[in-house]
Amino acid sequence: MYFLILNLVFFAGLLVFSSKRKHLLLMLLSLEFLVLSLYLNMFFFLSRMDFELFFSMIFLTMSVCEGALGLSLLVAMIRSCGNDYILTFSSLW
C-alpha cells in the first residue's frame, strides 16, 4: 500500500516538473519533492527487507548537497538577471 502511494507521489512530482518548466524556482521545488519521495520509497523498501539504512543516509546527504547547489544557482541567476524565468535567458538558446 505504501509503495502505491509513494509511486503516485513520485509521478505527481514528475507531472509538476514537466508542466512548470518555465519557472526555475518551481522546477527546483519539484525536484526536491521528487528526491523526498525517492528517499521515502527507498527507506520503506530497505526497512521492509531488513537491510542496512546506511545507504539512505548517503542518499540524504547527496540530496542536501544537490538542493544547496540548486539554490546557489538560483541566487546567482537572480542577482545577474533579476528574475528566474527560463525563457528570458539568451545564453540558453
pLDDT tens sequence across 54-91: 888 898 899 999 889 988 888 887 787 777 676 666 55
Mean of the per-residue pLDDT values of the chain: 83
Write down the domain spans for the chain. Answer: 2-81
The verdict on pTM exceeding 0.75 is: yes
Residue-level pLDDT at 65: 92
Say yes or no to pLDDT of 93 above 60: no
Residue 92, pLDDT above cutoff 60: no
Residue 37 has pLDDT above 60, yes or no: yes
pLDDT of residue 91: 56
Nearest to 77 by CA among 25, 29, 35, 17: 25
Structure-block grid coordinates of residue 53: 539504512
Residue 7 has pLDDT above 60, yes or no: yes
Sequence-ordered list of residues with C-beta below 8 angstroms from that of 20, at least 6 positions apart, any chain? 26, 27, 30
* Domain boundaries 2-81, corresponding CATH code: 1.10.287.3510
